[in-house]
Structure 1
């Protein structure tokens, strides 16, 4: 799928501010399932951009606006071509590890040392009593595939992760008014409602409590052609989870939507939690009164 994405962030200040220093993490990754063919960033007031990679391999653009300004606008546009991810069912047929061996490998020093940063709790993903209790409630049986009716025990790491993702999706309601950007995973359990950021943090917290490396992913999810059209559909950014499965590698799970991870997803980057991968963040000198407006538009290129 070929997608054109526009992401506009505007800060409007009550009074002019100065010495604004910012970081932008809005560059799509290029990997085995997606390629970014063009990408532009513009800043108003005009400022030179400095690019580098952070410790997680995400592309970062930094800039400063020292003169007084009453607004700051960051515009990014990109064209991304995606392919469907390699299906787990097909890849698992080539897996040599038995399920018990894969679970044992997650407890090995080699895995723990390699992925320790995605195993340790963070402020958002602390393994509290509520998290442990919810983890123990994840169904231990499942279906052979999404279309089958046969119920089978869940043995493999992948099947357990899929069960966890579905369990979160079934037990929590999507409600943009229920939480804030600071809501922790354990707080979500009591609220029973939230947004994609909350569901991702909850799944990550449970994965890490279970000993499975997990990381927070920021990106976009195109759903325009699922809403009765194929052209333009305005939507927000999206967040999901990547979890590590021995021998298979990193796999994506979206607890917000009970859908297969396919070519509608565009990944920007990943980190331990939301704080590592905030799309736009910065500091400035001046009034704390500001208005933030973010507009994201994803369009599918039409074939003639």
Structure 2
């Protein structure tokens, strides 16, 4: 449990999703689907979009209102499912932005330690008590990316069950006390991570990839089997004149960065690799997905990484905690035999800072290898869930004696 410490509270909800409980269906035991609209508070959206007003840059992110959110009921239990990610990246890789002028300065190769705190604010705006609430919550993955290590973690509520997938993604099941009308409870996840900014193309990797199939197969938004993407891969292979994975990955990287234009208003935004290729536009999701899909179609194992990033400064400096609202980002990794997973960010790469093979330390923080929804069950009342993300730099040692700055 958390000790008593001075906390700097920086509260900004990414989105506010409200779910209403439903009565039992006409035939008990038979689940049914109910259409529930995703409610986004315009004031919160405005705050999210304008987090960089102080430097004169406003990111034109258009939130998606059709996020996955379903409510069903069986024998009096309400079921909720929420995709917590706000659409797009807040990174300033927009048209007209000179990325070369956003030189990533101050990066050091030595290890740094950070404390990431994710809060779920769970409220009951209804008139009845919410009982028996259980949530399945995606947690920070068991990261095997070479530039980050999960050192320690703690939760304000101990998990009933903790499941881990083959790719390291983890989901915890948590039970909460009854929430009365108008009452709120906060569920906190806190992680201490170590980050490293080495050039991984020059380092020997320690991760042996036993089964490459999941990282070569087509997947939703990674349509490596689509004729259009296979044609791109075929051209890359012909140009490479050899099946060298590093050469193929570099050509896929260059093609992606050269082909796509960052446009958060494009209809293809958050639609994945094929949509981005056809429109030649999108956000970080299209950049990362097209690179991964092209790598896979070329025979190079690759995967998506979800997390947080900044292109102008470290995510958190010394002292005060930083609010990560609006800094959600997606990049990629490809696998090289003998070296392991190699990071690549075709969205933020530029001539002065090529994000191929290394990432500047402190500017990236990985969370998992695929966004997963929050799922839950409860009886009575209503449930409203908001999201907060904070990060602080801390002093770290290998024996886990880190001190939080919150």
TM-score range, shorter chain: 0.5 to 0.7
Return the alpha-carbon distance in structure 2 between the equivalents of residues 210 and 193 of structure 1.
22
Pairing 1:281–2:281 present: no
| Residue pair 1:186, 1:202 contacting (<8 A) in 2 also | yes
Q: 1:258-295 deviations in whole A, cap 9, x for unaligned? A: 1332423333333xxx3xx42x52144689x9876433
Alignment match, 1:103: none
Pairing 1:269–2:346 present: no
Alignment match, 2:388: 295
Query: Higher helix proportion, which one?
Result: 1
Alignment match, 1:198: 286
Give the gaps of 5 or more residues in structure 1.
95-110, 142-151
| Residue pair 1:242, 1:250 contacting (<8 A) in 2 also | yes
117-126 vs 28-37, greater mean Cα deviation: 28-37
Return the alpha-carbon distance in structure 2 between the equivalents of residues 194 and 138 of structure 1.
22
| Residue pair 1:118, 1:214 contacting (<8 A) in 2 also | yes
Alignment match, 2:194: 81
Query: Higher strand proportion, which one?
Result: 1
Return the alpha-carbon distance in structure 1 between the equivalents of residues 266 and 187 of structure 2.
28
SS at match of 1:6: strand
Pairing 1:6–2:117 present: yes
Alignment match, 1:60: 171
Q: Cα distance 1:253–1:239, how it changes in 2: closer, same or farther (>3 A)?
A: same
Q: 1:84-140 deviations in whole A, cap 9, x for unaligned? A: 23431x349x9xxxxxxxxxxxxxxxx9x8311221111222221232344456598
| Residue pair 1:224, 1:233 contacting (<8 A) in 2 also | no
Q: 1:127-171 deviations in whole A, cap 9, x for unaligned? A: 212323444565988xxxxxxxxxx99974213312322332343
| Residue pair 2:123, 2:179 contacting (<8 A) in 1 also | no
| Equivalenced residues, count | 264
Alignment match, 1:37: 151
Q: 1:31-74 deviations in whole A, cap 9, x for unaligned? A: 7543333322236xxx7442232222334322245856777754
Q: Cα distance 1:210–1:154, how it changes in 2: closer, same or farther (>3 A)?
A: closer
2:137 aligns with one of 6, 20, 23: 23
Which one has the largest radius of gyration?
A: 2
TM-score (norm 2): 0.52
Return the alpha-carbon distance in structure 2 between the equivalents of residues 73 and 205 of structure 1.
38
SS at match of 1:7: strand
195-204 vs 173-182, greater mean Cα deviation: 173-182
| Residue pair 1:224, 1:230 contacting (<8 A) in 2 also | no
Return the alpha-carbon distance in structure 2 between the equivalents of residues 12 and 177 of structure 1.
32
SS at match of 2:256: helix
Pairing 1:118–2:215 present: yes
Alignment match, 2:17: none
Give the gaps of 5 or more residues in structure 2.
1-111, 350-354, 397-406
1:253 aligns with one of 314, 319, 344: 344
Return the alpha-carbon distance in structure 2 between the equivalents of residues 163 and 245 of structure 1.
15
Deviation, 1:198, is 2.8
Q: Cα distance 1:117–1:27, how it changes in 2: closer, same or farther (>3 A)?
A: closer
Return the alpha-carbon distance in structure 2 between the equivalents of residues 39 and 54 of structure 1.
18
Alignment match, 2:162: 51
SS at match of 1:78: strand
Q: 1:192-231 deviations in whole A, cap 9, x for unaligned? A: 3333233222222111111211122233335563599766
| Residue pair 1:10, 1:74 contacting (<8 A) in 2 also | yes
TM-score (norm 1): 0.67
Q: Cα distance 1:286–1:172, how it changes in 2: closer, same or farther (>3 A)?
A: farther
Q: Cα distance 1:73–1:255, how it changes in 2: closer, same or farther (>3 A)?
A: farther
Deviation, 1:251, is 1.5
Return the alpha-carbon distance in structure 1 between the equivalents of residues 146 and 273 of structure 2.
31
| Residue pair 1:6, 1:78 contacting (<8 A) in 2 also | yes
| Residue pair 1:162, 1:253 contacting (<8 A) in 2 also | no
